[in-house]
């Protein structure tokens, strides 16, 4: 049997990799992909906690899994909107490089 700690460490490592991608990448598409990695890290943690802490304390049976379903829903909405914005950005500025999208900077 795998300890809960291993799943939590997996989630922490995945979140760190996603954070690196968000901070270091310059293409908007790759930044969105890295955000997906971070959301997945959160989901792994939620589902691991839901599975191991089932019925312990105030923790209800399926709360973690249902919150993970909502995270997946919001991630789907976020990806759709993000790529619509990226397409619009590309049409207006001719690039998806976030370093060159500086029209909100003063």
HSE at residue 21, side-chain half, CA atoms within 13 A, is 19
Contact between 42 and another protein per CB under 8 A: no
Q: Six-digit token pair at 10?
A: 């997996």
Minimum separation from the CB atom of position 59 to another protein (A): 10
Residues 1-30, one symbol each (x = binds another protein by CB under 8 A, - = not), give xxxxxxxxxxxxxxxxxxxxx-xxxxx-xx
3-state secondary structure 72-84: HHHHHHHHHHHHH
By the 8 A CB rule, do 27 and 56 touch? no
Query: Using the rule CB under 8 A, is 35 a contact of another protein?
Result: no
Q: Which is nearer to another protein, 69 or 104 (CB)?
A: 69
- Assess 101 for contact with another protein (CB under 8 A): no
Task: Return d(Cα 18, Cα 25) in angstroms, integer.
Answer: 10
Nearer Cβ to another protein, position 3 or 105? Answer: 3
Q: Which of 58, 95, 102, 104 binds another protein (CB under 8 A)?
A: 95
């Amino acid at each position: 049997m795998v300890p809960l700690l291993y799943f939590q460490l997996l989630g922490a490592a995945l979140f760190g990799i996603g954070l690196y991608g968000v901070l270091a990448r310059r293409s908007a598409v790759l930044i969105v992909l890295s955000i997906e990695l971070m959301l997945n890290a959160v989901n792994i943690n939620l589902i691991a906690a839901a599975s191991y802490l089932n019925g312990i304390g105030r923790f209800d049976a399926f709360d973690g899994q249902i919150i993970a379903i909502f995270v997946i829903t919001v991630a789907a909405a976020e990806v759709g909107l993000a790529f619509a914005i990226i397409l619009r950005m590309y049409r207006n500025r001719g690039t998806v490089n976030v370093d060159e999208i500086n029209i909100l900077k003063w």
